[in-house]
Amino acid sequence: MRADIVETPELGNRSYVISDAGTLRWEAPGAGPAAAHETSESRRARLALVRPSLAAAARRIGWNALLRPGG
Amino acid sequence: MRVVVVGGGASGTLAALHLIRQASGIGAPLALHIVEPDQIGRGVAYSTGNLRHRLNVPAAGMSALPEEPAHFVHWLRANYDPAFARGGFAPRAVFGAYLADTVSRQLQAAARVTWARHRSRAVDLRRHDQGVAITLAGHQVLEADAVVLALGNGAATSSWVPPALRRSSRFVADPWRPGGLPQLSGGSTVLLVGTGLTMVDIAISYGHCQVHTVSRHGLLPLAHAADPPPPPPPPAPAPLPAAPITAASVRRLVFGRIRELDGDWRTAVDGMRPITQQLWSRLDGTARRELLVHAQGRWERVRHRMAPELGAWLSARHEQGLLTVRAASVVGARDTGASLIAELSDATSVQADLIVNCTGRCSVLDSGDPLVSGLLVRGSARRDSLGLGFATHPDGRLVSADELPAWTLGQLRRGELWESTAIPEIRDQAAELAGSILARARAGTREVA
| B8 and B33 within one domain | yes
| Amino acid letter for position B208 | H
Tell me if B208 is assigned to some domain.
yes
Tell me if B230 is assigned to some domain.
no
pLDDT at residue B378 tops 90 = yes
| B166 and B151 within one domain | no
pLDDT of residue B253: 87
Instruction: With residue B278 as reference, give the H or E element that holds it.
Output: helix B265-281
pLDDT of residue B173: 96
pLDDT of residue A12: 47
Question: With pLDDT > 90 as the criterion, what percentage of chain B qualifies?
Answer: 81
Calpha distance B342→A13 (Å, rounded): 33
Residue of A nearest to B303 (CA): A61
Are the beta carbons of A56 and B263 separated by less than 8 Å?
yes
**pLDDT, greater one: A56 or A67:** A56
pLDDT tens digits, B214-229: 999 999 999 999 876 6
Tell me if B337 is assigned to some domain.
yes
pLDDT of residue B184: 96
Per DSSP bridges, beta strands A15-18 and A4-7 are: antiparallel
Q: Which of B40, B150, B11 is nearest to B104 (CA)?
A: B40
| B198 and B340 within one domain | yes
Calpha distance B290→B247 (Å, rounded): 7
| Amino acid letter for position B226 | A
Are the beta carbons of B265 and A60 separated by less than 8 Å?
yes
Are the beta carbons of B263 and A71 separated by less than 8 Å?
no
Find the CATH number of the domain harbouring B61: 3.50.50.60
| B280 and B207 within one domain | no
Q: Which of B348, B342, B383 is nearest to B366 (CA)?
A: B383
Residue of B nearest to A44 (CA): B259
pLDDT tens digits, B291-330: 999 999 999 999 999 999 999 999 999 999 999 999 999 9
pLDDT tens digits, B347-358: 999 999 999 999
- The phi-psi region of residue A70 (left if phi > 0; otherwise alpha if psi is between -120 and 50; otherwise beta) is left
Using CB atoms, pick whichever of A47, A62, A66 lies closest to residue B258. Answer: A66
Q: Lowest mean pLDDT of A56-65, B74-83, B151-160, B329-338, name the range.
A: A56-65
Calpha distance B202→B310 (Å, rounded): 12
Tell me if B234 is assigned to some domain.
no
List all residues 6 or more positions away from B17 whose beta carbon is below 8 Å from its beta carbon: B64, B99, B102, B103, B106, B430
| B367 and B406 within one domain | yes
| B120 and B140 within one domain | yes
Confidence grade of residue A45 (pLDDT, cut at 50, 70, 90): low
Calpha distance B303→B424 (Å, rounded): 14
pLDDT at residue B61 tops 70 = yes
Give bridge partners of residue B381 from the DSSP assignment.
none
Calpha distance B37→B9 (Å, rounded): 10
Q: Are B355 and B342 in contact (CB under 8 A)?
A: yes
- CA neighbours within 13 Å on the CB side: how many for A23? 13
Tell me if B387 is assigned to some domain.
yes
Confidence grade of residue B388 (pLDDT, cut at 50, 70, 90): very high
Per DSSP bridges, beta strands B131-136 and B122-128 are: antiparallel
Instruction: For residue B275, give its domain range.
Output: 247-303
Residue of A nearest to B222 (CA): A61
| B150 and B19 within one domain | yes
pLDDT at residue B343 tops 90 = yes
* Number of domains making up chain B: 3
Interface mutation vs chain B, best among A40, A50, A61, most B CBs within 10 Å: A61
Are the beta carbons of B262 and A55 separated by less than 8 Å?
no
Nearest-CA distance from A57 to chain B in Å? Answer: 5
Are the beta carbons of B301 and A61 separated by less than 8 Å?
yes
Instruction: For residue A37, give its domain range.
Output: 4-67
| Amino acid letter for position B358 | C
Calpha distance B266→B205 (Å, rounded): 27
Are the beta carbons of B298 and A53 separated by less than 8 Å?
no
Tell me if B447 is assigned to some domain.
no
Question: With pLDDT > 70 as the criterion, what percentage of chain B qualifies?
Answer: 96
Task: State chain B's mean pLDDT as an integer.
Answer: 92
Can you point out the beta strands (E) in B258-394?
A: 323-327, 330-335, 340-344, 349-352, 354-357, 361-363
pLDDT of residue B237: 44
| B197 and B48 within one domain | no
pLDDT tens digits, B104-137: 999 999 989 999 999 999 999 999 999 999 999 9
Q: B449 to each of B30, B95, B114, B138, how far by Cα in Å? A: 8, 33, 11, 25
Tell me if B233 is assigned to some domain.
no
Give bridge partners of residue B133 from the DSSP assignment.
B126, B143
Q: Which of B219, B440, B245 is nearest to B325 (CA)?
A: B219
ipTM for the predicted complex: 0.78
pTM across the whole model: 0.87
Using CB atoms, pick whichever of B255, B262, B265 lies closest to residue A51. Answer: B262
Using CB atoms, pick whichever of A61, A65, A71 lies closest to residue B265. Answer: A61
pLDDT of residue A10: 46
**pLDDT, greater one: A2 or B186:** B186
Neighboring chain A residues of B262 at a CB cutoff of 8 Å: 51, 53-54
Neighboring chain A residues of B224 at a CB cutoff of 8 Å: none
Q: Are B153 and B363 in contact (CB under 8 A)?
A: yes
pLDDT tens digits, B249-265: 899 889 888 888 888 89
Q: Are B41 and B62 in contact (CB under 8 A)?
A: no
List all residues 6 or more positions away from B268 whose beta carbon is below 8 Å from its beta carbon: B254, B257, B258, B260, B261
Instruction: With residue A56 as reference, give the H or E element that holds it.
Output: helix A52-61
Report, as an integer, the average pLDDT of B277-292. Answer: 92
**pLDDT, greater one: A61 or A7:** A61
Calpha distance B41→B395 (Å, rounded): 23
Q: Return the number of other C-beta atoms located less than 10 Å from residue B159's C-beta.
A: 6
Interface mutation vs chain B, best among A41, A59, A63, most B CBs within 10 Å: A63
Chain B touched by A11 (CB under 8 Å): no
Are the beta carbons of A57 and B263 separated by less than 8 Å?
yes
pLDDT tens digits, B90-101: 999 999 999 999
pLDDT of residue A43: 56
Chain B touched by A57 (CB under 8 Å): yes
* Number of domains making up chain A: 1
Q: Which of B233, B231, B234, B253 is nearest to B243 (CA)?
A: B253
Crossing angle (nearest 10°) for helices B197-205 and B308-319: 70
Tell me if B6 is assigned to some domain.
yes
pLDDT at residue A33 tops 60 = no
Taken as a whole, chain A contains a residue count of 71
**pLDDT, greater one: A9 or B44:** B44
Calpha distance A12→B428 (Å, rounded): 40
